[in-house]
Each structure stands twice: as structure tokens, then as C-alpha cells.
Structure 1
Amino acid sequence: MAFFVSFRRPLHCGIRAFCAGSFAKHYVPAISVACSGKKSQGSVGLLSSLDHSWETVEKRIRNTSQDSFFVSKRGEIGGAKELAVGVFDGVGGWEASGIDVRSFSWGLSQKTRENFEKQAKDGGTVVDALKIGFQEVLGDKSIVGGGATACLSQFCGGNGIIRVINLGDSGYSIYRNGSLLFRSNIPFDLRRDQEEGGKYIKNEVDEADVYNHQLKHGDVVLLSTDGILDNLFFEGIERVVTKTLVEAGIWLKSGQNILPCEGNVSKDQLLVAAQVSRHLVVSAKKNAQNTKIDTPFALEARKHRFFYQGGKPDDITALVLIILDASLVTTLFPPSLFCV
């Protein structure tokens, strides 16, 4: 049986169909987000929502990064808990035209989240929310231009299914029992272009790749911008994820195998596991500043006969969902946010 189903239309498939069915298990995601703005990567200091308010940490990120993200509120639809998350990477080339790339990226992120929270109860999906949010950005006169890649997901706790839409060189990957299970390809981005005579749109949302995945207890989903993907090989990401979840006791070593824990998951375990997004961004940031190592970006450059060695300095964002059997979670605390 195929692990995922890819489709392009109809993208308006409602949440009632997405979350339909009767399942013995219900799932909850433990969520953490970590970001490092390119302009602030020479500075020292970690700001975390574990010690400060989410708004304080997000404000610092907004001031330093063209990457953006959102985590929606959890809603209940037909008895099933569901939410949406997403990462966006503002296209930096627009800066040469004097355009604030952050306004497009953060504007699209905010509008997508707001529309999802308003419409989910009526059967709207994160795809619908992105479509509407994109049109609202186009109609916002304060946003004169810009572009962004996007990777968004909608998770239904009633059946453990996650729906992901991916546009551009942001992307996502899924890890199960210590191994990479799936990674996305790189299709499109979203743009608002200005030309003499009016505006036009390239790469509509309808052209994006959309996937459904059936997740299990202990699965890890990573949504990331190219700051992660250009500087960390998937083998390296797998090692960071595995090390963190084993330390948290959410994954357990059994001989040569790694299996998800079968007992209750405590708050202390979740606090350790929440560090996985931070560990990934710290690793990517370290590689980005190293001029002597091989990275995915360097290897790709050499394929095109351009000699390049080292990492690629960039904004870096990792958003992680750890999928847990709801019956095993004693306390689920709010999403964690790190500015690295």
C-alpha cells in the first residue's frame, strides 16, 4: 500500500472528508519551532518561549528573518482535534528593488493562519486558507511585491492523517523509528510581480504538490526552509532527530532497532523532545558558517560546474511535529518557539 497519495485537484476537499472515519486511536502533536535570521547569526544568545512569551520571541524573529511561520489554534471539528502549521521563505532577490521581503512572507503567513482558524469549522482546509491568504496579500496595498516558498500542513488528531502542501525549495520530511520515511520534492513558489501595466501571478496554489500521510505514534514531521535543506544532509537531520528523541525517551533503542515508547509520555520528556527544532537550526547554522565542509548546497553547485565549498548563509527555520498517541500523553504543553 502506498504511503502517500499525491493529487492536484480538487484542492478544496473539505476537512469533513479529510477527518472522516472512526478510529480507535486519537493523536496529538507536540510542536516546536526554531528560527535563526541570517542578519543576526553573528550575535550570541538564545531566546525561548520556555522563558519568555511567544510574542516576544516571535517579534525578534520578525525583525531579523525573511522566513516566517505559523501555528494555528487547535480546533474541534466533528469531535476531532485538528490544527495547521506552516513555514514560508521570502524570496530575497526582491530586496534589490527596494521591497521589504519580510512584509510578503509574514503577511502571507499571518493571513493563512487567520483564514484557517476562521473557516476550518465550515470545512475549509489549509489549502483553502492559503489560497485566500494569497489573494488578500495581492490586495494589500502596503505589500507592493515579493515572493515566498511555502510548506504547510494540516493534522487531524481523529485519525492521524496529515495533509501537506509544498511550493518551492522549502520542504518537509517524515521520520519513523530512527529512519527517514519520506521527503518532498521541489516544485513551485508563490510570487506577486509588478510590471508596467499591472500585476500578475506566477505559480498558483493549484499547481502545488499536495500529499496525505497516515502517521503513527512516535512519527516526526519536519517542515523547513532551505536554510535547513541547503546546509544539512538528510542523514544529518536523521541523526539529530534520533539522538533527541532517544534522549527524551520517546524513541527507545531495542538492540539494533528503534521503537516508539509504549508507556505514558511525561511533560519532562516533551520538554527534551521540543529541543529537536533548536538542535536542527543550531546544526544548520554551524554548517552555514563553515567554509570548508561539503553541504547539499555545495554539491548541487558543483553539479552545475560552479565550484563552491562550505555552507550557505541564510535564514533558517525548522518546525517539528512529534505525533503522539493521545492516551499516553499526561500533559501537552503549548508549542515551543526558539530564536537561535
Structure 2
Amino acid sequence: MGSFYIPKEYHLRPESKGQDSHFLFQEKNTFGLADGVGGWIKKGIDSGEYSRQLMNNSLIALNQETRGHVNPTRVLEEAYYVTKSPGSSTACIITLNDDDHCLHVVNVGDSGFLVFRNRKCIFQSPIQQHGFNHPYQLGCSSQFGDGVDVAIEIVVSIQSGDIVIAGTDGLLDNMFPSEIEEILMKAQDEDVHQTPADLALTIAEYALYNSLDKYSESPFSRAAHLAGKNHVGGKIDDITVVVAEII
């Protein structure tokens, strides 16, 4: 596993933690990510605190799980009920199960993951949203957040050599699967071994470039058009990328 994170305000405030959070727990074949919902800033609340606490509590819950038999839904539920910071967040926790050699995933909102086999995307997780740019989100306020009962469980069969790429919407709103395929193909063609961390960095930088492009089509601009909104180009946002290679 490897990861890379680019807070959207990094160029203005290098000390900024942003609103995304994630963890890698190699010993339990599990990782997770969360994206604090930016709309809370209008109320003077940094929902990055919520996402960071949610992921930290997920790590604590993981300590009670057995490697290869992690129940990601149970982990997220336990983390959700003890996370009390104001704000709200999407969440995605992914684990590799030894019994069926499948990815077992729990997901809330518009963070998600893709599975690549032979450098081609064979699966992309669905998003959950109340409306355009309004994702399902966990929060301690029922008025502004959803309960953990909205989480969906996903099981995906995987093979040795598959690559799992997960991200917050800073990745998924700015890169089509075909663009990630091109990066994976280029890495293969150059015959240079790239670690998951190397790939995460490359993909995150590509997503950042696209997010700043005001003219090209992006997944976000395509979704905006379908929703009757006028938006061209990428979407400036925090970008989290996690890459895991199945061995």
C-alpha cells in the first residue's frame, strides 16, 4: 500500500491539514479514507477535524479485528458512534478477506475506489449523493448529516496483480478511469518498478493538474452538465489517493 495527499490550500498555507484524512494498516490488509464536507466552513466549522477523528477511531476499532477477517462495516460503525467532532464526512474502508480473496468494502458518499486488472479498469464503486455535489455524509448532527445506516457494503473478487486505487472526490471528480489506465500503462511500458506510493504520487499530481484546468472536460463537469449546472473544467479540492497492489 501507498498513499499521497494534497490539501487544496497547500500552495497558500503549507501547514494546512485540509479536510481529507486517511489511514493505511498494512498488518490488517486494510485502509480507509474520509473527506470532510467543505460546506461546514460557512458555519465556522472545519470538518477536517471530523474526518480525522473518524479515521483515527477506525484505526482504534481495527485493533480488535483479525487480519484477513476484518469486518469494515463493524469498524466504521464503531468509529462513527464515538466520533463527536462537529462537521460531517464521507468514508470508505477497504479490506482484503483471506477466506474468499475478495475486497470487502463499506462506503458512504462520493469517496470510492477502482480495481484495475492488466492496466484496465474492471470495477468502479458507485457514489451516493442526495443531489449534485451533495454526497451522503456521516455526521453527529442528524440535521446536516446521515446515519451510518446509509452505508453500502461492496464485495469485489480480485486476483494477484490487480491494483486497487481509492480516493476522495478530489481524485474521482478530476480523473476518468481511462486517464488512470494511461498512467498504469506508461509505468509498464517504461519498465520501471513503481511502488504503490510512487503511483499514488503520480496520480495525485495528475488529478491536481486536471483540477486547475478551467477548460477541459472532467468527471465533475460532466456530472454538472447532466444536473443542468454550468461548470467547465476540473474541481479544485483536497486530493487523497491510496494505491494497493494485490500479491
- Once residues 127 and 82 of structure 2 are traced to their aligned partners in structure 1, the CA distance between those partners, rounded to angstroms, is 25
User: What is the one-letter code of the residue matched to 2:91?
Assistant: A
* Structure 1 unaligned blocks of 5 or more: 1-30, 45-59, 75-81, 194-198, 250-268, 325-340
TM-score normalised according to structure 2 size: 0.88
User: What is the one-letter code of the residue matched to 1:243?
Assistant: K
Residue aligning to 2:175: 232
- Once residues 179 and 41 of structure 1 are traced to their aligned partners in structure 2, the CA distance between those partners, rounded to angstroms, is 33
Q: CA deviation at 1:278?
A: 0.7
Counting matched residue pairs gives: 239
Aligned residue runs from structure 1 range 1-340, under 5 A: 31-41=1-11, 63-74=16-27, 82-120=28-66, 125-138=71-84, 143=85, 145-157=86-98, 160-187=101-128, 188-193=136-141, 202-247=145-190, 269=193, 271=195, 273-324=196-247
| 1:183-228: CA deviation from partner (whole Å, max 9, x where unpaired) | 11112321222xxxxx668433233221122211110111110001
Residue aligning to 1:261: none
Q: CA deviation at 1:119?
A: 3.6
Alpha carbon RMSD of aligned pairs, Å? 2.2
Mark the structure with the bigger radius of gyration: 1
Residue aligning to 1:51: none
Residues 173 and 221 of structure 1 are in contact (CA less than 8 Å); yes or no, is this contact kept in structure 2? Answer: yes
TM-score normalised according to structure 1 size: 0.65
Q: Secondary structure at the match of 1:307?
A: coil
In the superposition, relative to structure 1, how do residues 274 and 248 fare at CA in structure 2: closer, same or farther (>3 Å)? farther
Between the aligned residues of both structures, percent identity stands at 28
Residues 172 and 223 of structure 1 are in contact (CA less than 8 Å); yes or no, is this contact kept in structure 2? Answer: yes
User: What is the one-letter code of the residue matched to 2:219?
Assistant: P
- Once residues 191 and 200 of structure 2 are traced to their aligned partners in structure 1, the CA distance between those partners, rounded to angstroms, is 14
Residues 70 and 97 of structure 2 are in contact (CA less than 8 Å); yes or no, is this contact kept in structure 1? Answer: no
In the superposition, relative to structure 1, how do residues 124 and 151 fare at CA in structure 2: closer, same or farther (>3 Å)? closer
Q: CA deviation at 1:282?
A: 0.4
- Once residues 323 and 42 of structure 1 are traced to their aligned partners in structure 2, the CA distance between those partners, rounded to angstroms, is 37
Q: Which has the higher contact order (CA 8 A, sep 6+)?
A: 1
- Once residues 41 and 166 of structure 1 are traced to their aligned partners in structure 2, the CA distance between those partners, rounded to angstroms, is 30
User: What is the one-letter code of the residue matched to 2:4?
Assistant: A
Residues 4 and 197 of structure 2 are in contact (CA less than 8 Å); yes or no, is this contact kept in structure 1? Answer: no
List, as ranges, runs of 4+ consecutive aligned residues in structure 1 with deviation greater than 6 Å: none
- Once residues 63 and 189 of structure 2 are traced to their aligned partners in structure 1, the CA distance between those partners, rounded to angstroms, is 34
| 1:271-301: CA deviation from partner (whole Å, max 9, x where unpaired) | 4x53111111000100111112111111221
- Once residues 226 and 183 of structure 2 are traced to their aligned partners in structure 1, the CA distance between those partners, rounded to angstroms, is 27
